[in-house]
Amino acid sequence: MTGMWALVRPRPVMSLTRRLFALVALALAIVAAVGVISLRSSADLIHSGHQVADAHEFLQALDALQSDVADVEAGQRGYVITGEETYLEPMNDAIHRVGRDLSRLDVLVDDEWVREHLDDLELLVEQLVSSSRQIVGLRRTHGFEAAAEAVRTQGGKAKMDAIRSLVAEMRTRQQAVLAVRTALSEGKARFANGAVIGGTIVSALLILAVFFLLAREAGAHRRTHHELRKSHALAEGILTSMADAVVVADPTGNVIAMNPAAERLFGRAASGAARALTLCCGDAQTPLAPEETPIGRAVRGESVDSFECVTRAEGRSEPVWLSISARSLTSASGDALGAVAVCRDVTAAKRAELELRETNESLRASVEELARRNDEISLLGELSGLLQACADESEAGSIIAQSFERLLPGSSGVLYLLNSSRNLAFAATRWGDPPPPEESFTPETCWALRRGQSHVLESHRLGLRCAHVDPSVGSYVCLPLVAQGEALGVLHVRLDLPSIKERGAAVQRLLRTLADEVGLALANLRLRETLRSQSIRDPLTNLFNRRYMEESLDRELQRATRRKAPLALLMLDIDHFKEFNDAFGHDAGDALLCELGARLQNSIRGEDLACRYGGEEFVIILPEASLADAQQRAESLREAAKRIVVRHQERTLTPVTLSLGVAVFPQHADSGKALLLAADRALYRAKTAGRDRIAIASDDALEVASGVS
């Protein structure tokens, strides 16, 4: 116990400190001296290394100069002999390199004798280069004989021999200088290595001496520590046998001693320094004021019996219930010495009581959650049935919004659907008050679409915010809508997650279930739409097929009859399509049909219908279009067809032309079948007349067509 044993005083260590200081100072001085020597030696070595490197580079420059001079002479000789200009390009390059070599030698030379001879070498080289250029000029202007005579009279060989001799002398001189510098560098390196090795050995010996002194002092400290441990063990054995915690406080109420049971309960730090115990009321949250604790009351002279309170025991996450009895401590003369308290752990009884209460609360919450789940399951079943009965995505969006308002009251959100290109998510339906204002966003801005799983952001926590969500929005959930491995869109739901944190997992499970239901329903709707489109569309050109065209023609004729408005029909055919297929292949023909179908689709109005009639024939229905309008549209299509460029298998196919037949209701026919027949006969006349033209149904087509029908 604190204050119940005497401390063993350590022995003076002033002499050891002085010795350690002296040894460390000496070691540092030696290390500093070695460092200075190393730095100076390193500087000398670097300087010597630079001199050696310069000498080597000078020798390399001499060799390069001699080689380039030889290239100049060889280029001159080759041109004089052959007269071919190809010898002049390497010769001119060599002359350019000679200039650079001389400049490089002039920079690198550091010996007076070499510098004097370098001037002679430069003069010889310049004379040789000048002579070579003169000889080349004679060969170019006066022919081989004049150039050969110049070679004989100008002494080119003598100059070349003089250059070689001078280069050899300079190389010998520079090699001698290199040998001297190398020897000096090696001597300085050996001196530096010796200084570093010697200094390192001396420093290591000093460090070993320091370690020896420290080890001896550590042994003395271990012996002192052993004596202190024996003293502590004797003092602690007095109260170790007690099962209850015993705490002794001074007159101010601060703890000054406690037995092991109390240390396990309140923490060992409390026994090493005077401080007050932290005790709480029965709620385990509200701390008791120091004067209201049993020890505080006992210090004032009160007797406390079986006072129940809560504390946090060391190593235990749950609060510990205590029953505390406390008495004041006084001396024989009546002076107040403090107080002593005995604390008994009654957590087991309190835990049984709390567990029973928690069990009742859990049962009640489970019943409420089951009732809520039954309601959700019923609503989900109703939603599933309604979604399966929807006719289109707009109707499904309205049902989804109503279901969210019922399943998650107070929430708001948006159902975003991906467009056909999958590069934009647009708002299909909204709900809540107020609904989120965002109209559309790119899929990359939503973490749910990027990760393929739900993304939750709670306002009271840090997290990644989707870029399409306004920064002022608090909590929200984004759930990707996926069906059969394909992303269809995302459900963006905003709700106050902190207010429902006790059932947050259930809400997120409900949201995932809703997302699955919505995704499956949307996939079914799109599948039905795809099947319907396939039944009325031509698979190659994506235009309406013949069956849909005939149904639409009858419907449009009935509408035109009611409105007493005209209706034009264009029938067009690709000229010489069989020859095109024979020349380029059927794949190229399909590519041409696809390109023409796309061009027709882009050239018509929203109320017009472009259809593939069969083979290379197409039909365009133009509601409320007169004969003049139809003829103008036909002419535009005919001219546009000539500008169609089709590339197939890395080649551009031959442009094609169109022949068109035009018929107008009721001028040329009074029924769909008759109108098609009139346009077909007009198309036949256009082809018979030479193709690449437009033919109008004749005025007697109505009588002929009526007779046929």
Tell me: the pLDDT tens digits for 478-514?
989 888 778 888 988 888 765 555 566 777 788 888 8
3-class SS at 133?
helix
Contact 380, 513 (CB under 8 A): yes
DSSP state of 272: H
Q: 694-696 and 658-665 as β-strands: parallel, antiparallel, unpaired?
A: parallel
Residue from 290, 281, 303 nearest 252 by CA: 290
**Rg of the chain taking only CA atoms, in angstroms:** 52
Q: Which burial class, exposed, middle or buried, applies to 358 when counting CB atoms under 10 A from its CB (0-12, 13-18, 19+)? A: exposed
Spatial separation of the C-alpha atoms in residues 168 and 142, rounded to whole Å: 37
In the 3-class helix/strand/coil scheme, how is 532-549 assigned residue by residue? HHHHHECCCCCCECHHHH
Q: Which long-range contacts (CB under 8 A, 24 or more apart) does 648-655 make?
A: 648/584, 648/587, 648/588, 648/591, 649/587, 649/588, 653/580, 653/584, 653/588, 653/591, 653/592, 654/580, 654/583, 654/584
Angle between the N-to-C axes of helices 586-603 and 627-642, in degrees from 0 to 180, rounded to the nearest 10: 140
Contact 656, 644 (CB under 8 A): yes
Angle between the N-to-C axes of helices 14-82 and 156-236, in degrees from 0 to 180, rounded to the nearest 10: 160
Strand order in the sheet with 255-258: 255-258, 245-249, 336-345, 319-330, 304-312
Spatial separation of the C-alpha atoms in residues 367 and 416, rounded to whole Å: 36
Please give the structure tokens belonging to residue 545: 């097929």
What pLDDT, on the 0 to 100 scale, is given for residue 241?
Answer: 77
Q: Which parts of the chain have pLDDT scores under 50? A: 1-13, 270-272, 703-709
Q: Which burial class, exposed, middle or buried, applies to 296 when counting CB atoms under 10 A from its CB (0-12, 13-18, 19+)? A: buried
Q: Where are the beta strands (DSSP E) in 445-575?
A: 455-457, 476-483, 486-494, 567-574
Please give the structure tokens belonging to residue 316: 């235990």
Tell me: the pLDDT tens digits for 196-210?
787 778 777 877 877
Contact 468, 437 (CB under 8 A): no
3-class SS at 335?
coil
Please give the structure tokens belonging to residue 41: 């030696």
Q: 255-258 and 319-330 as β-strands: parallel, antiparallel, unpaired?
A: unpaired
Distinct helix (H) and strand (E) counts, the chain: 18, 16
3-class SS at 475?
coil
Please give the structure tokens belonging to residue 138: 């004679």
Spatial separation of the C-alpha atoms in residues 43 and 35, rounded to whole Å: 12
Residue from 435, 351, 364 nearest 400 by CA: 435
Spatial separation of the C-alpha atoms in residues 186 and 192, rounded to whole Å: 10
Please give the structure tokens belonging to residue 80: 């004089």
- Within a 13 Å sphere around the CA of 563, how many CA atoms are in the beta-carbon half? 13
Bridge partners, 249 (sequence order): 255, 339
pTM for the predicted model, two decimal places: 0.37
- The residue type found at 488 is L
H or E segment and range at residue 677:
helix 672-688
3-class SS at 430?
strand
What pLDDT, on the 0 to 100 scale, is given for residue 239?
Answer: 67
